Amino acid sequence: MAQFTKPTLSYDDQISLLKERGLIITDHSKAISYLKEIAYYRLSAYYIPYEKERHLFQTGTSFEQITTLYEFDCKVRQILDNALERIELFLRSQISNTLAMSNDPFAHENIKLFSSPSEHRRWINKVHEDTANSKEIFIRHYKTKYDNFPTIPIWMVIEIISLGSLSYLYKNLHKDQQQKISKEIDLTYLVLEKWLHFFTYVRNICAHHARLWNRTMAISPIIPKSFPPEWARIRNDKLAFAIIVINFLLRKMPNGEIYSAEWKRELHHLFLSPPSVPHFYESVGFTSREHFLQILAIQ
């Protein structure tokens, strides 16, 4: 293995390096401000589509083109994160209410409802630990009024666990319990399990301000057999398929048609005036601008 020997560069040196590699920078001060706010290394992921070979930009490429692509990606993350917040709250409600109504308020404590007793014990111990450490007022109130703390009703548990922990809970439920929940959302139990995992992954990308544009997803959702055949043309490891599954879940919510319409308007506004980048629609998983419009029209 090689030893790392790259030197630390000042902001001026970073600008000089970009110019040496063929990038057009007309406003030196503005470029430095950008590098101070975002950092050279984070922005470097957006250099790649403008390079004719590694570390050598295509003729005529400007710093503004790169920052425009970066800003586009920021807006995509914001739109997805807002939609995923609605979906997360919806799924929390569906899982909590279905388990409580089908069993009792402490269904999550019942080891018989879970496929792996050892995994359930590990999960519930973490829930009890998080409950005991919680500073939420409703948790403190419950602790002073009821016995058996940190055992609390599932509708309280749902409010303090992470989306990843929620996904883990659903994954370990017996099939019959999963089916009761997924039936309310018009999905098979296995598809919902995989989608929950996928949503957790995408929300983490958004939370860490990581790149969504042109990303090949490390976790891919299942494509349901009941979905339109046109969707088979879309790779399920690209942003395009994330857009599809998010819209599907939005429409399953009580106010879903309103949410879906808002979501589509935001996407249209953003994707129909894309950054100047080669193969823009292909990079996110659509075959063309027309394909993007067709897929959104189907939903």
Rg over alpha carbons for the chain, rounded to the nearest Å, is 23
Write down the pLDDT at residue 269.
Answer: 92
Q: How far apart are CA 259 and CA 186, in angstroms?
A: 18
Contact yes or no for 295/286 (Cβ under 8 A): yes
CA torsion 30→34→36→42, rounded to 10°? Answer: -150
Write down the pLDDT at residue 216.
Answer: 93
Write down the pLDDT at residue 298.
Answer: 65
Contact yes or no for 24/62 (Cβ under 8 A): yes
DSSP state of 219: S
Q: What does residue 179 show for φ and ψ, rounded to 5 degrees? A: -65, -35
Write down the pLDDT at residue 294.
Answer: 85
Please, which residues have CB within 8 angstroms of residue 163's CB and are 6 or more apart in sequence? Answer: 88, 196, 199, 200, 203
Please, which residues have CB within 8 angstroms of residue 30's CB and are 6 or more apart in sequence? Answer: none
Measured from the Cβ of residue 162, the count of other Cβ atoms closer than 10 Å reads 14
Q: What is the pLDDT of residues 200-250, one digit of tens each?
A: 999 999 999 999 999 999 998 888 887 777 777 788 899 999 999 999 999
Contact yes or no for 267/79 (Cβ under 8 A): yes
Contact yes or no for 1/11 (Cβ under 8 A): no
Q: Which long-range contacts (CB under 8 A, 24 or more apart) does 53-57 make?
A: 55/21, 56/21, 56/22, 57/21, 57/22, 57/23
Residues of the chain falling short of pLDDT 50 = none
Instruction: Look at residue 23 and give its three-state secondary structure.
Output: coil
In which element (H, E) is residue 283 found?
A: helix 280-284
Write down the pLDDT at residue 299.
Answer: 63
